[in-house]
Amino acid sequence: MDRELKIVINPEDAGIRLDKLISMKTEGLTRSAAEKLIDGGYATCNGKALNKSYRGAEGDCIFLLLPEPEKTDVEPEAIPLDIVYEDSDLLVVNKPKGMVVHPAAGNRTGTLVNALLAYCGDSLSGINGVIRPGIVHRIDKDTSGLLIVAKNDFAHQKLAAQIKAHSFTRIYEAVVHGNVKEDDGMVDAPIGRHPVNRKMMAVTEKNSRSAVTHYHVLARYEGFTHIQCRLETGRTHQIRVHMAYIGHPVAGDPVYGPKKPVPNLNGQCLHARVIGFVHPRDGRYIEITSDLPAYFTGFLAKLRQK
């Protein structure tokens, strides 16, 4: 059932943009979500629909209609989940390689979201919409490792703010082609859609966003280097694009790496190893580490034998 909120503008709120004001006054509602409600005509004053740039005066009374959440047509599936942390606000999942995070064309079943809907029921945040309930950030289908899921909009908003402020710890391990000469380095290069192949990302100045990856060499082998990567930003395919950009694509990457398959490796060797965040409810810093999976350790063992 739809519900209506009444917001009376007090002296300190006068002159604040409506989208910002609504997100401030409505727990768990992001500014972008507030903007969508305003654009849909759900915010009114004196019976007239307002626009997002409206700046109210002291004493104005704004009514905000919150529609009943849209029902998802994504089917829950009883797929086993490797849950490494859980409380009433969030959970951290160790995603296996090969699992898609959320449904899309060609992948309507077998996704992490299908599994989460079966495990959590209605207890997932709705900020990212009905297709991506609870999903705060993503990792690629063929990347294994840790991913955080929000159970409510309050937790989602707080976690998303940490990601935006670059205070959210995300450390990956990868095996890349070639000998990375420097023990430590940084790639600071903007990422956007590939100008020709729209399914790919690329380092580009056009329609791009800033992207920063810090890397550290863990071990060197014949033809390959085992590295650790810390994300300062979180762009689509960021590590894969950045490492390919500096001439060291991720081993087994079928999109950004060499077309010739790597022996003894089925798909890319990239694992989300560490995730760290301030708990949205109580302010504790939590850091979780995932063991390297068998495909990764097996490939390293083969490299050591060379």
Q: Check pLDDT > 70 for residue 128.
A: no
Q: Which of 224, 223, 261, 227 is closest to 242 using CA atoms? A: 227
Over residues 93-120, the mean pLDDT reads 88
The residues facing 43 across adjacent strands are: 64
Q: What pLDDT score does 233 carry?
A: 92
Give yes or no: residues 209 and 260 share one domain: yes
Domain boundary among 38, 66, 94: 66
Q: Check pLDDT > 60 for residue 70.
A: no
Residue type, 63: F
Over residues 105-130, the mean pLDDT reads 82
Q: Which of 77, 155, 75 is closest to 123 using CA atoms? A: 155
Domain housing 103: 71-161
Q: Check pLDDT > 60 for residue 66.
A: yes
Mean pLDDT of the chain: 90
Q: What pLDDT score does 266 carry?
A: 81
Which pLDDT tens digit goes with each residue over 20-51?
A: 888 888 766 777 778 888 888 888 998 888 99
Give yes or no: residues 42 and 176 share one domain: no
- 213, 232 Cβ separation under 8 angstroms: yes
- Read out DSSP for 155-192? HHHHHHHHHHTT-SEEEEEEEEES---SSEEEEE--EE
How many angstroms separate the CA atoms of 132 and 111, rounded? 10
Share of the chain above pLDDT 90, in %: 58
Give yes or no: residues 149 and 109 share one domain: yes
Q: Check pLDDT > 70 for residue 189.
A: yes
Give yes or no: residues 61 and 16 share one domain: yes
Give yes or no: residues 104 and 37 share one domain: no
* CATH code of 32's domain: 3.10.290.10
How many angstroms separate the CA atoms of 151 and 143, rounded? 23
Q: How many domains does the chain have?
A: 3
Give yes or no: residues 180 and 303 share one domain: yes
The torsion region of residue 195 among left (phi > 0), alpha (psi -120 to 50) and beta comes to: alpha
Q: What pLDDT score does 129 carry?
A: 66
Which pLDDT tens digit goes with each residue over 148-158?
A: 999 998 899 89
Domain boundary among 113, 146, 161: 161
Residue type, 22: I
How many angstroms separate the CA atoms of 301 and 278, rounded? 36
Q: Check pLDDT > 80 for residue 173.
A: yes
Catalytic residue check, 140: yes
Give yes or no: residues 298 and 183 share one domain: yes
CA atoms within 13 A on the CB side of 22: 32
* pLDDT tier, 13 (very low <50, low <70, confident <90, very high otherwise): confident
Give yes or no: residues 104 and 140 share one domain: yes
Lowest mean pLDDT among 46-50, 68-72, 184-188, 236-240: 68-72
Give yes or no: residues 83 and 54 share one domain: no
13, 19, 89, 140: which is the annotated catalytic residue? 140
Q: Check pLDDT > 60 for residue 259.
A: yes
Domain boundary among 118, 134, 161: 161
Q: What pLDDT score does 206 carry?
A: 86
Q: What pLDDT score does 288 carry?
A: 98
Give yes or no: residues 173 and 278 share one domain: yes
How many angstroms separate the CA atoms of 132 and 39, rounded? 22
Give yes or no: residues 285 and 170 share one domain: yes
59-86 burial: b if 16+ Cβ within 10 Å, else e: ebebebeeeeeeebebeeeebebeeeee
Q: Which of 301, 299, 291 is closest to 177 using CA atoms? A: 299
Give yes or no: residues 181 and 295 share one domain: yes
Within 8 A by CB and 6+ apart from 297, the residues are none
Over residues 112-123, the mean pLDDT reads 90
* CATH code of 78's domain: 3.30.2350.10
